[in-house]
Amino acid sequence: MQANIIIEYKPEAGYLEARKEVERIFEGRDENVIIDLLVPGWIAVKTDLKHKDIIEDIKDRFSMDPQYIKATRRWIPVDYWCTIETISDTIKEEYGEILTSKDRCFIKIEPHGAEANEKDIKAKIGEKVGARLDDSPVDKILRVDIFSKGVALAMVRRHTVFQSA
């Protein structure tokens, strides 16, 4: 399964409650949705729907009713999956046209129980892409979520990710 959304759930809610919440959100929208435990604390979702539109809808519904989301904490879109060894090549291939020398990019690396040297990964990415890398968030944020099952990549803006308290 190549998930296109990764979801962090609240520890106090647990996997089963979070899964039920995700199923409720997709009920009637995508009968082919696949939901799987990625690692403890994280769910992977594969949907045929536009993943960034789903997250935008969740944000809208949550702003009108904070009880709409109780068990999950963050919904993050995923554009591509790769391995830790192919991160920089995948980024160059998939994002090369939108990360030019005129761009500034912040790289957000989150290892989720996987062994990863953030400094080395950022250096390798910096060698491959033409964009200037910033130490603070700017308009273009490259998320690199590292799991033992693979690396999830997403080019996001601050409003692209849903995060509750």
Helix (H) or strand (E) holding 74: strand 72-77
Average pLDDT in the 17-38 region?
94
Query: CB under 8 Å, gap of 24 or more: what pairs does 117-125 form?
Result: 121/84, 121/87, 121/88, 124/87, 124/88, 125/87, 125/88, 125/91
144-155 tens-digit pLDDT: 999 988 999 999
Residue 122 structure tokens: 């950022």
- Span 80-158: which CATH code? 3.30.2300.10
pLDDT band of 24, cuts 50, 70, 90: very high
pLDDT at 22: 96
The predicted pLDDT at position 117 comes to 82
pLDDT at 158: 66
What's the pLDDT score for residue 1?
Answer: 65
Looking at residue 165, its pLDDT comes to 60
Q: Where are the domains of the chain?
A: 5-78, 80-158
Average pLDDT, the chain: 88
In angstroms, rounded to a whole number, what is the distance separating the alpha carbons of residues 153 and 28?
28
Name which residue leads in pLDDT, 124 or 159: 124
pLDDT at 34: 95
pLDDT of 120: 86
pLDDT tens for each residue of 68-120 = 999 999 999 999 999 989 998 999 899 888 877 777 788 889 998 777 788 88
Checking if the pLDDT of 3 tops 90, the result is yes
The CATH classification of domain 5-78, taken from the options 3.30.70, 3.40.30, 3.30.1370, 3.30.379: 3.30.70
- Measured distance CA(16)–CA(149) in Å, rounded: 21
pLDDT confidence bin for 137, thresholds 50/70/90: low
